[in-house]
Structure 1
Amino acid sequence: MLIGSKAFNCLWKEWQEEHQPLQVLQLLLAYIEMPEDLSGELKETQDLLSYFDPDLAPHNSFWKDIVRLVDLAFPGDSLSQEGLVERQIHQLRYLISSQQAQYVRRHYKKPGMTDKDALAAYLRWKPFTMFDQGRLHQKIAVRAGEVVYPDGIPSINLKILLYNRIEFILDSQGNFLNEVDAEKVTESGVVNGASFNYGNYKRHWQLDVEPVQPHDPDYRNRMTKGFRSPNKLRKKWGRKAPEQFDKSFYNPKGIYAQSHRSLANDVKRQARAFLAMVYGFKPFHTK
């Protein structure tokens, strides 16, 4: 039975009726043979995703069940504590995002289309947002005084949230960025990729942010070494800390800027262009 199929949904309902939330999650992890640590390798990702029904959509209620179960099973900051289940549940976020990206590719990506084109088609008339400008998904490194982009390719990455849980990250070339991906493994995906959100606004830090340090897979820790996101320092504070302002998301002359505009400004322009793709109108531009 594939996860998301009608047959599995009956089993899923039984699990939730007969077991506690943590036990249900453990059964799911065992069902997909979730490893202690994801390797990021293409074949492993494909094998793990083979347990999911190809028609299991990102907007399916199954994902709401996952969110509810994680919330109940891991009160407070318990998901950040040492433990096999805690580590597997954290890394499951990356696998979920890969599955959801693959759904969009399989059902909406036609020949000649990019991942961005397919996502725009999928999101039409769905309640997605881009209020979070994806600052944390714009990591670069500085080595020997030179700016280094993942894969050596400058990119302005766009973050799209659906139901404030489902996360898609797109690079400037229109590719999905995922920590684990079923079609290609890239440094940019591992460094700046998407991850499904378990927490709501109140629990996002406890369920999605704090567990990263203790539970991220070893391959990601290796590949992200030296890469840093821009800070949030605004211009009025930049005069007091010019070295820090050089690393600001809002500095049009800082190391994260790729034009005569700040990275924040460029992200806004990308967001407007994406909205135009979704709804079929011409984007307006600002200087």
Structure 2
Amino acid sequence: MRRDEMLIGSKAFSSLWKEWQKEYQPLQVLELLLAYIEMPEDLSGEIEETQRLLSYFDPDLAPHDAFWKDVARLVDLAFPEDSLSKKFSIERQIHQLRYLISSQQAQYVRTHYKKTGMTDKEALAVYLRWKPFTMFDQGRLHQKISFCDGKGIYPDGIPSVNLKILLYNRIEFILDSQGNFLNEVDAEQVTESGVVNGASFNYGNFKRHWQLDVEPVQPHDPAFRNRMTKGFRSPNKLRKKWGRKEPEHFDRSFYNPNGIYAQSHRSLANDVKRQARLFLAMVYGFKPVQKKQIKEVHMSKQPQNNKGTAVLGSLVFMALYALGIWHNAVRGNIPFLILWSVLLLVNVSYLIFRLRK
């Protein structure tokens, strides 16, 4: 069978994938995968290259498919501690594969959920409607801007409050204020904002996230991204304590309502929260509460659900979260037990809100 008839994610490839995992060590399986897609040592960021690389993946390979969990597990096993940061070819390719995976996952959403006239954000809202996504991470590192004469300069010259959405704590989507996916490599459009603030698939959780996803950025990011991100900086995490002077560099804080990163006299952190509320409204079909004389970022054609559908959806989520709590309690996985418990409480609160409406 020809390789173009056995795309990654297809049933035929799944059989081959299982054989690889039985016969070879984790690092060898990853090497076979990289060779299969003809992964370059350094991504160029060009649309043609991205399209060619994505052509090896089945268009129906979904972000929630178990294949991606296998990839993350293999990377975790193949690169103990901080070994993925070593300056060798395979480590560089594995790191840059994260960007390609995020591009493939964004393209899946566009292909299967984006109808004529819809934004990427609207398509993603439809895809996530029945899935346990989170927005606890406010994406501070995806809010980079550059500076000139004490003023902030946004990528592409367009002010934006970027929103980070996580699915299963590995799958990452970044959206700008205009509703576009931001990716380092993209099969449809290459933007400065995407390269600077784009999404990347996460191999690790908790401590391993730092070792597998954060530390390798400096030694292994592609040359084109290093060029384009030069001069761009994320906001810092400084906070002003009550009754005390502002700390040094507080003007560049994520939490400063009057700082360089702030828009409309609100801190960037508060603006991200507002965007998160609007996105939740888009996903679940309820109208967000808006304060008077405050203009929200425009969103056209928000998908609307009736009350019965929203309540039914909440009940389904409650069942899923309860199952997650039981599963993690049995395994003694305390961090995820807490996470699922919080999600259940949020969902119960939303259900009460809908029933009272």
Of 121, 126, 130 in structure 2, the residue corresponding to residue 116 of structure 1 is: 121
Partner of 1:42: 47
* Equivalent in the alignment of 1:79: 84
Q: Structure 1's 92 and 237: CA in aligned 2 closer, same or farther, altered over 3 A?
A: farther
Secondary structure in structure 2 of the residue aligned to 1:203 = helix
2:238 corresponds to which of 226, 233, 238: 233
Q: How does 1:34-113 map to 2 (within 5 A)?
A: 34-113=39-118
Letter aligned with residue 123 of structure 1: L
Contact 2:192–2:228, Cα closer than 8 Å, also in 1: yes
Contact 2:240 2:247 in 1 (8 A): no
Aligned: 1:255 with 2:260: yes
| Aligned with residue 174 of structure 2, among 169, 174, 181 | 169
Asked if 1:149 corresponds to 2:154, the answer is yes
Q: Of residues 201, 204, 217 in structure 2, which corresponds to 1:196? A: 201
Instruction: State the Cα deviation string for residues 103-136 of structure 1 (Å, max 9, x = none).
Output: 0000000000000000000000100000000100
Distance 2:66 2:183 in 1: 22
Relative to structure 1, the CA distance from residue 51 to residue 244 in structure 2 (aligned partners, 3 Å threshold; closer, same or farther) is: same
Q: Tell me, in whole angstroms, the C-alpha distance in 2 between the residues paired with 1:87 and 1:240.
A: 44
Q: Which residue of 2 aligns with 1:129?
A: 134
Question: In structure 2, what residue type is equivalent to 1:56?
Answer: L
Provide the rounded CA distance (Å) in 2 between the counterparts of 1:102 and 1:261.
Answer: 33
TM-score, normalised to structure 2, is 0.79
Deviation digits for residues 50-90 of structure 1, max 9, x if unmatched? 00000000000000000100000000000001110000000
The alignment covers a number of residue pairs equal to 287
Give the Cα separation in 2 of the matches to 1:284 and 1:146.
32
Are residues 1:245 and 2:257 paired? Answer: no
Which structure shows the higher helix fraction? 2
Q: Which amino acid aligns with 1:195?
A: S
Deviation at 1:238, TM superposition (A): 10
Name the SS for the 2:279 alignment partner: helix
Deviation of the 1:180 alpha carbon: 0.2
Q: What is the Cα deviation at residue 144 of structure 1?
A: 3.4
Which of 4, 11, 18 in structure 1 is aligned with 2:16? 11
Alpha-carbon contact 1:140-1:229 (below 8 Å) kept: yes
CA RMSD of aligned residues (A): 1.3
Q: Relative CO higher for 1 or 2, CA cutoff 8 Å, sep ≥ 6?
A: 1
CA contact (8 A) 1:269 1:285 kept: no
Higher Cα radius of gyration: 2
Q: Distance in 2 between matches of 1:202 and 1:64?
A: 17
What residue ranges of structure 2 are gaps of 5+ in the alignment? 1-5, 295-357
Structure 1 position 236, deviation (Å): 1.1
Question: Quick one: which amino acid aligns to residue 7 of structure 1?
Answer: A
SS at match of 1:235: coil
4+ aligned runs moved over 6 Å, structure 1: none
Residues 237, 188 of structure 1: alpha-carbon distance in 2 compared, 3 angstrom cutoff: farther
The answer to whether residue 228 in structure 2 is matched with residue 220 in structure 1 is no
List gaps (5 residues or longer) in structure 1: none
Letter in 1 for 2:125: A
